Structure 1
Amino acid sequence: MFSIYELLVAFFSLALRGFFREVKSRGSHKIPPSGPVIFCVAPHANQFVDPLMLLTNCGRRVGFLAAKKSMDKPHIGIPARIMGAIPVVRPQDLVKAGKGKIYMDTENPLILKGIDTEFTRVLHFRALIKLPQEAGAFEVVEVLSDTEVKIKRAVEGKEAVALLSSEGGTSYKVIPHVDQADMFNAVTERLERGDCVGIFPEGGSHDRPELLPLKAGVTIMALGAMYKNPDLNVQIVPVGLNYFHADKFRSRAVIEFGDPIQVPSELVAQYGKGGPEKRAACAILLDTIYTSLKAITTTAPDYDTLMVIQAARRLYKPPHKRLNLDQTLLLSRRFTEGYLKYRNDPRVQDLTGRVLEYNRLLSYYGIRDHQVQRTAVGRLWALSRLLARVIELLVFAFFGLPGLVLTAPIWHTARRVAAAKMVEAKAGSSVKIWGKDVVATWKVLTAVFLIPVFWFLYTLTSFLVSYFILDLGRRPSLIVTAVIATAIPLLTWATIHCYDHGADIFKSLRPLWMAVVAGSSAQPLRDMRQDLAERIARGIDELGPELYGPDFHSTRIVRAEDVDYGLRLSQKLRRGEGFQTQDFRWDEVDEREFSDDVFLFKDETRGVVQGVWGDVRQRRARSL
């Protein structure tokens, strides 16, 4: 018999399969099959979807640390408690606006004074006084009176000094100190039983392109449990979550498990000494965890950098090569490493400016990078392919329309709810950029709630129509109702696949249309793309060996001969010579690959055909 936990995991797995087009797991063989494990997951970019990603891919039972504020909500708390979640009272969830204004004592930098304040009522030892505009927070050492409080460290920083020196003082917020002893004891008990605990060391979810500073809680859990029980061997497994458009329906994701971190006994002994030694032990282990997470995640210091890196990766990929999720992720990671190391190099800075200009030109034309080369085709050929694609799209629309109509109230409501929650999340956070980290969560939650509701309504309606309006009788009406009740889930699943294939075809229409009506007008864009691809290839040839050593060429994700051959193909295509029978063919495409409408060329370096323009499925290759 299946347990409730296993049934919920199966249900969550089905929900994720409905939302994501592909979820790939890497390194799951590294997970210890038994014994206490702390799964350390980052980046926390998809709120409640992130824990589901781990639960459905790790093969072990995991109890996550979850904010008590979230677990107090029935739709989150009930399944979370069934899954063994451990509630955590987060200080940031208890933040309150302080009464009155505060300012700094000019004679004693460790004293803050108040105007119309009630420090004795709202402040206590180790509480935090937080300034607006993220100017700083100060720990309370002693409450001297309603209008005077002593802080742990002197006020520093221009913004903090300016606010606390302003006439009339500044507003502030109070963050109470929370004793987490019960939570740490609960974690220790789990680990002593040989169970698994999941934690997001960044704290709350966010949509920033870089990792947030890690909290030390995970180190206290591991070191504290092993110090309390010397026979305990707690292993920390870093888990990297990498999303391709995390907030979008039918996007892709990769969950990667790193090598387990063995906690050294020396650190446990150092932790047990307390004081500075304890803090030093936690810092060493936290640094090890951070390094491990950086190795299995793709992050950038800011959004603009991320856009440059992704654009450079696309420009570098040869048109005749297909890269799967693993290769795409690893290539992005290497581009990030190289960019961060050489971003002050004049050559890299010049290339960055050119890539940004190329991105702006793409926006002007209203097309994406992978569509650029498709504008360099003959008008008659483009017109024939355009008509064929429109027909294909109409076929998918015909078969997908019934399911689309039935599910329209669901996805429309899910989008509205997610948009509202995104605005709410952004307003309540100082670290979120847009609040996109909650979008997928609320799309999934809304759909999970509405799908059975509408399934019941449609089933009930079919019975009422059959029995009362069509007067078929009870038995035939029940048969019709049973058939419809069975068909609705199948129709919904078929609609999702029609959407996948139809979206792939739809992406290829715009460049075909441009080729028909104004193919030559995109020539500057094709020239710029070719120039950038050549510059990036040269830069990698020069800097790659310097960054990765003499083994660079043997460990390349894209072989040097593939890059050279791809550049030659692109040059021919740019000049309108890309459609030779020996170079260009159609072939069947595996939908799991990253083949979102790219050309299919014959790879002369290996004698095989790779790539695709669109998601066309033909059983036999044919020459053009």
Structure 2
Amino acid sequence: MPPGAPVPWSYFLIRTLFRIVLKIFYGTIVVEGVENIPPTGHPCIVCANHTNSLTDALILVTAIPSWRRNMLHLTAKSTQFGKKTLTSWLIEAAGTVPIQRRKDFVEGTANNDAAMEKMTETLEIGDAVCLFPEGGSRYHPTIAPLKTGVARIVSTILSRNRNNVDFEISILTCSITYMHRQHFRSDVLVSFHPPLTFRPKDNPELLEPMNYDSIRFVTAQMHQQIATGTFDAPSWGHIRAAKMATPIYAPLGTAMSLGDYVRVTRTFLEVFKAGRLSSPHTSSAGSASPEVGVEWKDENVVKLKEDLEVSSYVTINQMFLDDHPRQVYQSELHKVRIRDDRVRRPLSRPVIMYRMVLRFIWVSFLLSISLGGLALWLPVAATTFYAVHNFKKSGPVWDTWDEIAQYKLIYGLVSGLCVYAIAVFLTFPIFPVTVVAVPGLMWMSLRWFEDAVSAARAFVALWRLLRVNPATLARLRSTRADLHRRLMPLAVRGLGLPANPEEYFVYGGKDKGRVIGWWASRAEYFSVRRRRKRDWNETLRLYEQFDYPPEDS
């Protein structure tokens, strides 16, 4: 097996810097399927869906552990090369391959022959190359038709090595799912799928001269694998409906792993896309519980999807119109500004007031101990906000949303390094201490502030719950019970999901979000891995985040 090219030190620098900034910006990056990554020395093309511009590439670079692959060669637009800037130097020194885009050159002058030759040579020595077969980054609910370039590269390399009986090359597909792609302290799921492996002796149909149908077939396989690990829908409404169905079916929050959450939501999404069930399934966890008394029907699927979609996404104006015809569960929740979990588990008024006192004390304490570190974060937040605010004004929603996270990461990294350097310089007499103490203080203050926001969010939710009329709460519980009664037959009998989700999906891993148990919740409070999220939808905000653009944007 080829040893692969030596790894330049600049690559280690880039990976370290962006591992830090990604860990700060995103609450949790859960990586699944690491065992599917071919080891160093095995030619490999890493392909993923592309919804978040440069951030997607950085996620992949940091998600692939160095003990599996020592390096992942990236591709970047050629206009970023040859400049006297730090960014340009780092890109070139890290072995990135320049790609000429048609829109950057006058018509007919873009030529990527040299880039293709460079990628071919890189793969033949056993390295890995990252490509995004969708082409450009795009913030849409559906995955774009994949371009055939990856399959054609595989065909070229197999043809060049047709006489090497031991040669093989793999396409490693990956699905990247952002809970809220551009929001601070959101979460990310990275799922690596079993690789598609090709050999000259086993895949003669890909040897030149090949039938183009074989290229399209490989591309279709890639699309299918990528789509099975993330949300792929014709509209945002389908995704909203599926995301509303999951907590009603399995109200576990972060006690359910992020991977299970995405897979269950995608299961609902697929049936809502089809609008029907072709056949019933048998749940691996057993048959439906006796109290599930409604059989699944295609018309029930369509009606349930419509109710979930409309009720989970109603405009602010529609929310408060008394004559709005579809003002059901989620729109009612929006009106009283409470969440589904507050309806599902009723609390007495004395308990609510007692919890409010505890949350208020906890918020006050956490904010007081985090003030010092937050002062260091203030310039970073201000710089990032100003940069993104100006960037949003540069174009329409569809042309700016897919680069917001990239802008936040880059400006956050640069401003954060500046703050760190200035803090160390101003405390130069004790710099051996501040070199370590400053980032430690910034990190822990971020953790404390995140917990303070979580507690404040709970305080506000309890206060709103206290103000809700008991009759309104009773009506909401009745509506939710009806939705649950209609959803369970679809989930269990129609989709084969477990009939006991609150037992089946409980997860206690390190990336699940919350620390379970009396000792762990106290002894591990100051752990850098500590998080206090109620569900995977939360970001560092006092309100629930809905960030989908209008369908006609």
- The TM-score, its normalising length taken from structure 1, stands at 0.69
Q: Deviations over 1:376-418 (max 9, x none)?
A: 3211110110011011011111111221122112112112212
The answer for the alignment partner of 1:263 in structure 2 is 198
The answer for the alignment partner of 1:367 in structure 2 is 338
**How high is the sequence identity, in percent, across the aligned residues?**
23
Deviation at 1:534, TM superposition (A): 1.9
**1:82 equivalent in alignment to 2:82:** no
Q: Matched residue of 2:379: which SS? A: helix
Q: Is the 8 A contact 2:172 2:196 kept in 1?
A: yes
Match of 1:65 among 66, 70, 75: 75
Q: Is the 8 A contact 1:241 1:255 kept in 2?
A: yes
Match of 2:406 among 438, 441, 445: 441
**1:497 equivalent in alignment to 2:450:** no
Q: Is the 8 A contact 2:45 2:128 kept in 1?
A: yes
Q: In the alignment, residue 22 of structure 1 is paired with which amino acid?
A: T
Q: In the alignment, residue 263 of structure 1 is paired with which amino acid?
A: F
Q: Deviations over 1:346-386 (max 9, x none)?
A: 21121122222233333322333344435x32111101100
The answer for the alignment partner of 1:407 in structure 2 is 377
Counterparts in 2 of 1:320 and 1:249: CA distance versus 1, 3 Å: closer
The answer for the alignment partner of 2:134 in structure 1 is 202
Q: Deviations over 1:14-53 (max 9, x none)?
A: 2211111111111111111133433333221221121111
Q: Matched residue of 1:246: which SS? A: coil
Q: Deviations over 1:500-526 (max 9, x none)?
A: 212221221223112323351333333
Q: Matched residue of 1:45: which SS? A: coil
Q: Matched residue of 1:535: which SS? A: helix
Q: In the alignment, residue 91 of structure 1 is paired with which amino acid?
A: R
C-alpha distance in 2, partners of 1:525/1:434? 39
Q: Matched residue of 2:98: which SS? A: strand
Counterparts in 2 of 1:307 and 1:71: CA distance versus 1, 3 Å: farther
Q: Matched residue of 2:233: which SS? A: coil
Counterparts in 2 of 1:200 and 1:330: CA distance versus 1, 3 Å: same
C-alpha distance in 2, partners of 1:594/1:339? 33
Counterparts in 2 of 1:271 and 1:597: CA distance versus 1, 3 Å: closer
Match of 2:183 among 245, 248, 251: 248
C-alpha distance in 2, partners of 1:565/1:186? 49
Deviation at 1:565, TM superposition (A): 12
C-alpha distance in 2, partners of 1:259/1:565? 25
Q: In the alignment, residue 290 of structure 1 is paired with which amino acid?
A: H
Deviation at 1:434, TM superposition (A): 6.4
Q: In the alignment, residue 433 of structure 1 is paired with which amino acid?
A: W
Deviation at 1:188, TM superposition (A): 0.8
Counterparts in 2 of 1:529 and 1:377: CA distance versus 1, 3 Å: same
Q: Is the 8 A contact 2:52 2:406 kept in 1?
A: yes
Q: Is the 8 A contact 1:207 1:436 kept in 2?
A: yes
Match of 2:419 among 448, 454, 460: 454
1:394-543 paired onto structure 2 within 5 Å = 394-424=364-394, 426-427=395-396, 433=398, 435-462=400-427, 478-479=429-430, 483-520=433-470, 521-543=472-494
Gaps (5+ residues) in structure 2?
1-6, 278-297, 312-328, 506-516, 536-541, 543-553
C-alpha distance in 1, partners of 2:336/2:183? 23
Which structure ranks higher in relative contact order (CA pairs < 8 Å, sequence separation ≥ 6)?
2
Q: Deviations over 1:313-355 (max 9, x none)?
A: 1111145992011211221222222222335932112112222
C-alpha distance in 2, partners of 1:486/1:593? 20
1:278-297 paired onto structure 2 within 5 Å = 278-297=211-230
**1:385 equivalent in alignment to 2:320:** no
Gaps (5+ residues) in structure 1?
96-174, 464-477, 545-551, 567-584, 599-613, 615-624
Q: In the alignment, residue 78 of structure 2 is paired with which amino acid?
A: K
C-alpha distance in 2, partners of 1:32/1:507? 43
The answer for the alignment partner of 2:550 in structure 1 is none
C-alpha distance in 2, partners of 1:371/1:433? 35
Q: In the alignment, residue 88 of structure 2 is paired with which amino acid?
A: G
Counterparts in 2 of 1:7 and 1:305: CA distance versus 1, 3 Å: same
Q: Is the 8 A contact 1:18 1:250 kept in 2?
A: yes
Deviation at 1:256, TM superposition (A): 1.0
Q: In the alignment, residue 44 of structure 2 is paired with which amino acid?
A: I
Q: In the alignment, residue 534 of structure 2 is paired with which amino acid?
A: D
C-alpha distance in 1, partners of 2:392/2:155? 37
Counterparts in 2 of 1:343 and 1:413: CA distance versus 1, 3 Å: farther
Counterparts in 2 of 1:515 and 1:367: CA distance versus 1, 3 Å: closer
Q: Is the 8 A contact 1:372 1:511 kept in 2?
A: no
Counterparts in 2 of 1:195 and 1:564: CA distance versus 1, 3 Å: closer
**1:339 equivalent in alignment to 2:272:** yes
C-alpha distance in 1, partners of 2:233/2:194? 22
Counterparts in 2 of 1:244 and 1:457: CA distance versus 1, 3 Å: same
C-alpha distance in 1, partners of 2:273/2:342? 28
Q: In the alignment, residue 29 of structure 1 is paired with which amino acid?
A: E
Q: Is the 8 A contact 2:158 2:207 kept in 1?
A: no
Q: In the alignment, residue 529 of structure 1 is paired with which amino acid?
A: R
C-alpha distance in 1, partners of 2:478/2:461? 16
Deviation at 1:456, TM superposition (A): 2.8
Q: Is the 8 A contact 2:251 2:341 kept in 1?
A: no
Deviation at 1:259, TM superposition (A): 0.6
Deviation at 1:309, TM superposition (A): 0.7
Match of 1:301 among 209, 234, 242: 234
The answer for the alignment partner of 1:213 in structure 2 is 145
**1:22 equivalent in alignment to 2:33:** no
Q: Is the 8 A contact 1:370 1:597 kept in 2?
A: no
Say which one has the larger Rg. Answer: 1
Q: Is the 8 A contact 1:421 1:438 kept in 2?
A: no
Counterparts in 2 of 1:238 and 1:245: CA distance versus 1, 3 Å: same
Q: Is the 8 A contact 1:243 1:254 kept in 2?
A: yes
Q: Is the 8 A contact 2:369 2:445 kept in 1?
A: yes
C-alpha distance in 1, partners of 2:182/2:146? 23
Q: Is the 8 A contact 1:188 1:221 kept in 2?
A: yes
Q: Matched residue of 2:398: which SS? A: coil
Q: In the alignment, residue 54 of structure 2 is paired with which amino acid?
A: F
Q: Matched residue of 1:242: which SS? A: strand
Deviation at 1:423, TM superposition (A): 4.2
C-alpha distance in 2, partners of 1:497/1:390? 18
Q: In the alignment, residue 64 of structure 2 is paired with which amino acid?
A: C
Q: Is the 8 A contact 2:141 2:236 kept in 1?
A: yes
Q: Give the stretch that moved more between structures: 518-527 or 59-68.
A: 518-527
Q: Matched residue of 1:400: which SS? A: helix
Q: Is the 8 A contact 1:316 1:533 kept in 2?
A: yes
C-alpha distance in 2, partners of 1:586/1:531? 35
Counterparts in 2 of 1:307 and 1:379: CA distance versus 1, 3 Å: same
Q: In the alignment, residue 560 of structure 1 is paired with which amino acid?
A: A
C-alpha distance in 2, partners of 1:504/1:71? 43
* Structure number having the greater strand percentage: 1
Deviation at 1:267, TM superposition (A): 8.7
Q: CA RMSD in A?
A: 3.0
